[in-house]
Amino acid sequence: MASWWRFRRRCRLGSRKNRARVAIRLPRHRNPRHLRDHHLFPKKRRLVNAGCQKCNGLPRPVPYEIDLQGAIWIQTWAERLGIPVIEASSIVVKLSYAALFLSVLLVVFWLSETALKSPWGRMMRAIRDNEVAASAMGKDITWRHLQVFVLGSAVVGIAGAMLTTLDGQFTPASYQPLRFTFLIWVMVIVGGSGNNLGAVIGGFIIWFFWIEAEPIGLALMDLITAGMGNDSALRHHLMENAAHMRLMTMGLVLLLALRFAPQGLIPEGKR
């Protein structure tokens, strides 16, 4: 028995010495870990890094303006309205996008309302109101939270796909958390977090204020600084920072909503 243990000890010592020799002989830049990370899996590294790169020339679900300009019906319609063909084709493309987005919105809204009125929706509202009681009734809280997260992410993914097709490109660096995270929260809070129709109306209202806040801010600053000279440093400072009026407007709208309508413009109805 003692000889057997001595034999195993010699094997261990020999293997350790061999590994040490191999590690010493290998140069630093040829470390097996370095080779594994940078040479054995180049495709995986490219796939991971490709998610941060921008994509141009994405296909559109509606025709291009230049393709419509050669159509006879577009030329006839533009002649009847007395507008250029380029403007007419642009109007048709915008109306097509509006019809597409409205169709998707109606489908998602109908599915959400149907799910909300179903037994599954009643169960989800019970989990939202009291997780302890729902868990005591045998509901898997973690699994239901995962379901809601997946469904919400799917809806956001559909919205993102429509946005990228509208822009014609996907540039991750241009997506700011203030615009695509905080702004969505403000839409839901102002419209009503417990009402699907309220969330939709809140989205339209907040987006209108977000778009119009900058030109309104410029006009307001121009009115305030009307008595100042063109070479006034204060005037230049106010005019350059007028674009930040939209941030102040969003904060003001959120504070007013939380103060006077904490349940949103359309509160959740009693069921």
Locus of tokens 């069921």: 271
Q: What is the pLDDT of residue 101?
A: 93
Cβ atoms of 133 and 126 within 8 Å: the answer is yes
Q: What is the pLDDT of residue 132?
A: 93
Of 113, 108, 71, which is closest to residue 92 (Cα–Cα)?
Answer: 71
- Distance CA(199)–CA(266), nearest Å, equals 8
- Distance CA(269)–CA(210), nearest Å, equals 28
CA-to-CA dists, residue 19 to 28, 31, 33, 36, 237, angstroms: 15, 13, 14, 18, 68
- Distance CA(25)–CA(32), nearest Å, equals 12
Over 60: is that where the pLDDT of 26 sits?
Answer: no
Kindly report the average pLDDT of the chain as a whole number. Answer: 79
- The more confident residue out of 244 and 128 is 128
Average pLDDT estimate for 199-210: 90
Over 80: is that where the pLDDT of 12 sits?
Answer: no
pLDDT tens digits, one per residue of 228-268? 777 788 888 877 877 778 888 888 888 998 899 888 888 88
Q: What are phi and psi of 56, to 5 degrees?
A: -115, 160
- Distance CA(68)–CA(74), nearest Å, equals 7
Q: What is the pLDDT of residue 23?
A: 44
pLDDT tens digits, one per residue of 159-193? 888 888 887 777 777 777 777 788 888 999 999 88
Cβ atoms of 249 and 178 within 8 Å: the answer is no
Q: What is the pLDDT of residue 9?
A: 52
Whole-model pTM? 0.69
Cβ atoms of 240 and 172 within 8 Å: the answer is no
Q: What is the CA radius of gyration of the chain?
A: 30
Helices (H), the chain: 2-25, 32-38, 42-50, 65-68, 72-81, 85-117, 119-129, 131-136, 141-167, 177, 183-191, 196-224, 233-240, 245-260
pLDDT tens digits, one per residue of 73-99? 888 888 888 888 899 999 999 999 999
pLDDT band (50, 70, 90) for residue 68? confident
pLDDT band (50, 70, 90) for residue 147? very high
Q: What is the pLDDT of residue 106?
A: 95
DSSP secondary structure letter of residue 71: -
Of 103, 148, 100, 95, which is closest to residue 121 (Cα–Cα)?
Answer: 148
pLDDT tens digits, one per residue of 37-55? 444 445 544 544 555 566 7
